[in-house]
Amino acid sequence: MFKIIRNATVYNPDKLGKKDVLIVNDKIIAIDDKIEISSNGIFDVEEINCKGKILVPGFIDGHVHILGGGGEGGFSNRTPEATLSILTKAGVTTVVGVLGTDGVGRDMNALLSKARALEEEGITTFVFDGNYRLPIKTLTENLINDIMAIDKIIGIGEIALSDHRSSQPSFDEFVKTVADTRVGGILSGKAGIINVHLGDGKRCLDLINEVVEKTEIPISQFWPTHINRNAYLFEEGIKFAKKGGIIDFTGNSDPDLWEKLYGEVKVSKAIKRVLEEGISEDNFTLTSDGQGSFPMFDDKGNYKGIGIGTSSCLLESIKACVFEENIPLEKAIRAITVNPANILKLKNKGKIEKNYDADLCLLDEKTLDIDMVIAKGKIMVKNGNPTVFGVFEKASKN
């Protein structure tokens, strides 16, 4: 199937101006000022007029509890699994699944199966091996073999540090796991990334810094997340990034309230600070912690109940960067496109370039609201509404 996207302002994520983009099946074949193609009735050509629209790469959400999360308030607090349309209507075309605190009621076999199900339904998926705790319960005889033998495993995580829910790993236990992950990545051509959940503890990134200082393992092997959880962790994250480390911010559906109640650093302010500090534009990312549970409050701070995080916070955070902090879109959008693609070694993802995967989001030029989402060359969302649903989403609509 041939598709031509016409008259969109293309962000690669660098701004390229108005371009036509030719898609054949699941790949971007050409980008030019004007693309003419004649099918002579041999094949169908779908033309999509995108006047007044912005075209950006499909979003990569590198931290989602696709099996569901929560459970820390008891069994009834377990959140549901992610559905295809929850992800696509938020612009997500590539997702990395993680476990969390619970690696018993949910395990790696189930996580891998869920990832494969979402892939069959139309998006690209990967997973991290393990959960909060060390040692990791591997699927094969060891961690290196898991990364080498199982296509979707690209690293480990989310390993919890500086948190009362972690396994409180020693330096030796942590560094051995990190080393095996790196070697597995080297041998398989994968990232071998160590995705680290950071809690509220005052130790912050101490254990990661110790590994970097005392061993030959490079700082780039780590991907610490929730860096904007509070002010002191954020400051430690800035120091880490200045040394060349990569830092990941977590989106929030109500960032102003969480800033007020918990001192969380709003993502838009965090990204602005990163840019002001002269930190590399390649070294920050944004993820959603989607399907994780979180407390909800009214505007007076009164507790209302348990909510569920979704990937919709990604674009809302990017909008805040652009409209509240005057950060250029081409800089802000890197956090959910090219940066995670490069960090996670996701080939042919995160950019609008010839021979890259046809994963695209079409946004309104004025509001940046999602108009269309294309994953693997297939339209998944049109006029802001999902057009493709998961298997059991279909069943529930009948």
Cis peptide before 276 (omega within 30 of 0): no
Mark out the alpha helices in 55-102 (DSSP H runs). Answer: 84-88
Strands 222-225 and 193-198, sheet pairing: parallel
Question: Of these residues, 146, 289, 357, 359, which one is catalytic?
Answer: 289
Give the Cα separation of 72 and 118 in Å (integer): 26
Q: Around Cβ 178, how many Cβ atoms within 10 Å?
A: 23
Q: What is the largest CA-CA distance in the chain?
A: 67
CB of 348 closer than 8 Å to CB of 358: no
Give the Cα separation of 129 and 137 in Å (integer): 8
Residue 28's SS3 state is: strand
Residue 383's SS3 state is: coil
Q: 49 forms bridges with which residues in the sheet?
A: 6
First vs last Cα of the chain: how many Å apart? 29
| Of 55, 7, 93, residue with least CA distance to 330 | 55
289 assigned to active site: yes
Give the Cα separation of 280 and 216 in Å (integer): 22
| Of 266, 270, 264, residue with least CA distance to 241 | 270
Q: 72 forms bridges with which residues in the sheet?
A: 74
Place of tokens 């409050």: 297
Name the residues annotated as catalytic: 289
